[in-house]
Amino acid sequence: MHKTTALRAAAAATAALLTATACSTQRGQDAPDTAAGGACKGQHTTGITDDTIELGGIYPLSGPASAYGTISKGVAAYFEYVNDKGGIDGRKVRFIVRDDGYQPPKAVEEARRLVEQEKVFAVFQTLGTPSTAAVWDYLDKQKVPQPFVATGASVWGTDDKHPWTIGWQPNYVAEARVYAKYLTDAKPKARVAVLYQNDDFGKDLLGGFEKAVAGSGVKVVAKESYEVTDPSVSAQMASLSRSKADVLLDVTTPKFGSQALAADARNTKWNPLHIVNNVASSAAVLKPVGFEHVQGVVSATYFKDPADPHWADDPAMKTYLKAMHEHAPDTDPANQFNAYGWAVAASLHRALDSMKCPTREGLRDAVRNLKDVKVGLLLPGVTLSTGHGDAFPIETMQLMRFKGERWQLFGKPVDTRKEFGPLTN
């Protein structure tokens, strides 16, 4: 009795399983879409048709780095704005945002979802060095472009094994070169103390700076590192102050940037020229210290700050603010990350426009062959340029000094490519 019931059940289950496998296996053996003819024959056209283009992005919408998640809103707003105007070369953009919570394994999962399930044309932006490093091998194998990743590590440009991945923002070495150039010009005998975060970011910037000042009169006389998990950097600041250096290079993330600026302000016996790196230069970092304490601090930037009244009449900024108002009303357009997202999306737009073939290979080659491409929200003089042996789109930055209640640009944009030559490993 029991036996027959059980057997019957087993038979039914097996039959069901077999039917499911036979009928609708989701494991499509579909051949990858390829372009039909002409010069583009055989290239991959997954995710792009004559009137649509599918893009996927992976951002930390949750977790410790969720503040950066708003970049995706700037990007999405740009694509909606472009879609309203007819799309990119007649193609409407569908931009799919996925959350990885700043965890590499989630980034891998989401990248696979975007490539295999959503069948995107390109993974436009992964955020953070760990997540990007976790997926670039996979995307390379799948031959999916990973343009303009949101991290400043120099490895995306110096590596030659991953042609499908490329950065966008000035890498940390380029930023270090800007400060080195400024010091060798303005203070050729400067003695520099460095406070840096003990990870790839801090070491990239410090290493770039030391290389860039090598052979000049500028000397690094003291350096102190801290861990992201440290509660404060006051001990490091105290030991740096004993060096009596006349420049302090402050390579920190926002929280520690505030602490270092405050420690510098408190110490009246030591008054070095304080250079704070771009990552920690937002108003949110300076405000808690008190604007009166951070007068004369120097930093560098490359895109227009939406909160700066200086750009209020700038046409690109006006377009940005209007579009943000329309397409992303729940977010603050004055947030720099939104402007960053807008600018990087606009850059991708230019790259897509310049594709010789509307294929994945076309995009891969286009982002590596940009010639002085201008993007509205980038500072005047800052353009995108890549080419053979140069996989860093932006390598120009402009110095700025804090005055009154905001940053003021000074000097000319520094093209580190021209000043120091191409960056190699």
Partner 1 sequence: MSTIAVTLGTDRARRLRAALTVLLAAAVAVGAPFYFAPFQVFQLTMVLLYAVALAGLNLLVGFGGQISLGHGAFFAAGAYTSAVMLDRYDTGHLATLPVAAAGCFLLGLALGVPALRLRGLYLALVTLSLAVFLPPLLKRLEPVTGGSMGLIVDKPQPPAWSGLAEDQWTYFVVLAVTAVALLLARNLLRSRVGRALRAVRDDESAAEVMGVRLSLHKTLAFAWSAMFAGVAGCLYTWVIGFVSPDSFSFVLSVTLLAGLVVGGLASLYGPLLGAAFVTYVPSVSQDLSEAAPGVVFGLLIIAVMFVAPTGLAGLPGRVPVAVARRLSDVAARRPSGVSAVLHRTPPAASAPGPESPSRPGTRASEPLTPADPETVGAPPRTEKE
For partner 1, the binding residues (CB under 8 A) are 2-3, 6, 9-10, 13-14, 17, 20-21, 25-28, 61-64, 66, 97-99, 101-106, 108-110, 112-113, 115-117, 129-130, 133-134, 137-138, 153, 155, 198-200, 227-229
Residue with tokens 């800052």: 382
In the complex, minimum distance from the CB of residue 285 to partner 1, in angstroms, rounded to a whole number: 22
Cβ atoms of 177 and 392 closer than 8 Å: no
Residue type, 289: V
Nearest-angstrom CA–CA distance, 195 and 260: 9
In the complex, minimum distance from the CB of residue 359 to partner 1, in angstroms, rounded to a whole number: 22
In the complex, minimum distance from the CB of residue 312 to partner 1, in angstroms, rounded to a whole number: 29
In the complex, minimum distance from the CB of residue 230 to partner 1, in angstroms, rounded to a whole number: 9
136 CB neighbour count, 10 Å cutoff:
22
Quote the tokens at residue 326: 């329309």
Q: Which is nearer to partner 1, 47 or 362 (CB)?
A: 47
Residue type, 179: Y
Q: Which is nearer to partner 1, 198 or 216 (CB)?
A: 198
10 CB neighbour count, 10 Å cutoff:
10
Nearest-angstrom CA–CA distance, 385 and 402: 29
Nearest-angstrom CA–CA distance, 402 and 300: 11
Q: Which is nearer to partner 1, 259 or 347 (CB)?
A: 259
In the complex, minimum distance from the CB of residue 300 to partner 1, in angstroms, rounded to a whole number: 24
Q: Which is nearer to partner 1, 55 or 294 (CB)?
A: 55
For every residue of 304-359, DSSP letters joined together read: --TT-GGGTT-HHHHHHHHHHHHH-TTS-TT-HHHHHHHHHHHHHHHHHHT-SSSS
Q: Which is nearer to partner 1, 227 or 405 (CB)?
A: 227
In the complex, minimum distance from the CB of residue 129 to partner 1, in angstroms, rounded to a whole number: 7
Nearest-angstrom CA–CA distance, 265 and 13: 74
Q: Which is nearer to partner 1, 9 or 186 (CB)?
A: 9
Q: Which is nearer to partner 1, 15 or 312 (CB)?
A: 15
In the complex, minimum distance from the CB of residue 120 to partner 1, in angstroms, rounded to a whole number: 12
